[in-house]
């Protein structure tokens, strides 16, 4: 029997996430949205790709929550997206109400699921999801660090004209202007990045990483990123459902780790069948640790 994943929100991020999961074939997908016809139409379109991709999983669209019952994972992408000039925090009040309503519904239908909040501002939405659901901390894990890290690795690979697979890096902290790319432990082919890129240029790349979401928003004008975010979500879903136990930067509730208490912050975690199975404490230098605590 296949696993079941619900994606709430059939906008660009949600629909692309649903497609990525469906295409892999390891889970049946339920796509939920309040707009009548939107999730149904997108789900049917995806389903009809099955014979081409060789996928036998199912995907259904719905405007309610009955069909989400007993989901293994629920991804929450609902909310308004950023527009040029807006920060992630500008979305706070509107999206807080939306996410609270959604989490209440899905937690009732799937009391044993792992919740993956994605809506911005992510750290606050993860905190609210934990509060509203009443779930243990290991079953509420936000998507941010994988995306921010992917952007950092992309920019470094472009700068050095190497494969992204040769760049080992992590971005920790909040999903916003205070995120913390851990430059001290970043390597390219095993060589510390500080030996390959001048300090001033490295600082520019770090800043571009922090502005990565806004850069795309400014290009698009009417929306925000969704290809890379959906890829990051799908990576998390896969690690949980297939019990891969990958070490990935995700937003989780800290209780003393890194000297931070009772806050959702992006840190490396072991992600497996139990959700967040372990928080990994990197050996950060004093500046990095101070920046992480400030980011929280």
Q: What is the pLDDT of residue 2?
A: 94
> b/e string for 97-131 if b means 16 or more Cβ within 10 A?
ebbbebbebbbebbeebbbbbbbbbbbbbbbbbbe
For residue 55, tell me if it sits in a domain.
yes
Distance CA 229, CA 19 (A): 13
For residue 150, tell me if it sits in a domain.
no
Do β-strands 171-172 and 73-76 pair in parallel, antiparallel, or remain unpaired? unpaired
| Domain span including residue 50 | 3-139
CATH no. for residue 61?
3.40.50.720
Query: Between vectors from CA 14 to CA 10 and to CA 17, what angle results, nearest 5°?
Result: 135
Distance CA 154, CA 165 (A): 9
For residue 274, tell me if it sits in a domain.
no
Q: What is the pLDDT of residue 184?
A: 94
Torsion of CA 222, 89, 145, 283, to 10 degrees: 150
For residue 288, tell me if it sits in a domain.
no
For residue 236, tell me if it sits in a domain.
no
User: Whose CA is closest to 292, among 264, 263, 262, 258?
Assistant: 258
Averages of pLDDT over runs of 10 residues in the chain (296 residues) are 97 98 98 98 99 97 99 96 76 93 99 98 96 99 98 99 99 94 97 98 98 96 95 99 98 98 98 98 96 95
For residue 16, tell me if it sits in a domain.
yes
* Number of domains observed in the structure of the chain: 1
Residue 140 has a CB neighbour count (10 Å cut-off) of 27
For residue 24, tell me if it sits in a domain.
yes
Catalytic residues: 175
Distance CA 176, CA 180 (A): 9
For residue 123, tell me if it sits in a domain.
yes
Counting beta carbons within 10 angstroms of the beta carbon of residue 198, is it exposed (0 to 12), middle (13 to 18) or buried (19 or more)? exposed
Tokens read off for 269: 């975690």
């Amino acid at each position: 029997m296949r696993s079941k994943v619900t994606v709430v929100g059939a906008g660009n991020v949600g629909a692309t996430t649903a497609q990525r999961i469906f295409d892999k074939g390891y889970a049946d997908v339920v796509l939920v949205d309040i707009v009548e016809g939107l999730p149904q139409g997108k789900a049917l379109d995806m389903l009809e790709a099955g014979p081409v991709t060789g996928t036998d999983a199912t995907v259904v669209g719905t405007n309610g929550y009955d069909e989400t019952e007993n989901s293994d994972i629920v991804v929450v992408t609902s909310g308004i997206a950023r527009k040029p000039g807006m920060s992630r925090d500008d979305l706070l009040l509107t999206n807080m109400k939306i996410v609270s309503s959604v989490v209440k519904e899905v937690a009732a239908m799937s009391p044993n699921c792992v919740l993956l909040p994605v809506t911005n501002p992510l750290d606050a939405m993860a905190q609210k999801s934990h509060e509203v659901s009443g779930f243990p901390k290991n079953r509420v894990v936000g998507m941010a660090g994988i995306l921010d890290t992917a952007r950092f690795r992309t920019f470094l690979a472009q700068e050095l004209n190497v494969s992204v697979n040769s760049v080992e890096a992590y971005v920790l902290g909040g999903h916003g202007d205070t995120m913390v790319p851990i430059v001290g432990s970043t390597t390219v082919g095993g060589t510390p990045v500080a030996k390959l890129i001048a300090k001033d240029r490295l600082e520019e790349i770090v800043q571009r990483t922090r502005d990565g979401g806004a850069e795309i928003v400014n290009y698009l004008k009417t929306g925000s990123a969704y290809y890379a975010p959906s890829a990051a979500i799908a990576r998390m879903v896969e690690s949980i459902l297939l019990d891969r136990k990958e070490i990935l930067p995700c937003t989780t509730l800290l209780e003393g780790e890194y000297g931070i208490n009772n806050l959702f912050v992006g840190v490396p975690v072991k992600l497996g069948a139990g959700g967040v199975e372990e928080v990994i404490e990197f050996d950060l230098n004093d500046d990095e640790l101070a920046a992480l605590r400030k980011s929280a």
